[in-house]
A and B are shown apart, each in its own frame.
Chain A
């Protein structure tokens, strides 16, 4: 059974720092991997999707990498800002005969201090 783990569970950094959030998964037979952001009491916003054939994806100050063989993905945030404060969730997409399903990690709660 696929398990997704995110470390650390919480992270506090001063504004301007570059930081890395980690995601690991136990079964390398994933289809894609998706990173989300969740603000308190809100829904999930999709940040980046990495297809299994890709090694990384970039959007603005965000860069996500994927190493399927080692079961790892990282989300790199450059020059962090207080507005980046949120919970970041990674999820692997696995296919079965019913289509694609997401399996989530528990998230990393990020706080960026001014």
Chain B
């Protein structure tokens, strides 16, 4: 089954404790992206990647890092999480040709205390 998976689905952590949210897709998609969703602000793009080793900032990249060493994986790294990064995070992927419909993961709900 074609899907985007994220882990963990729920995470409660404390300020300053480094964490990684993993994202993996099994559709051989070139494009992957991270969004965060906050009440009243909608979904905002954090980082995106057009292919392996090619990443770029989205609209709200501060406090986040990403890497794209393999085509299927696009982890989101929070080096020193802060309470304002408490949010619902979504990973998405698509091809870079044809219809480029984006497939979204199930979401990771992060709480930083």
Q: Do A and B bind each other?
A: no
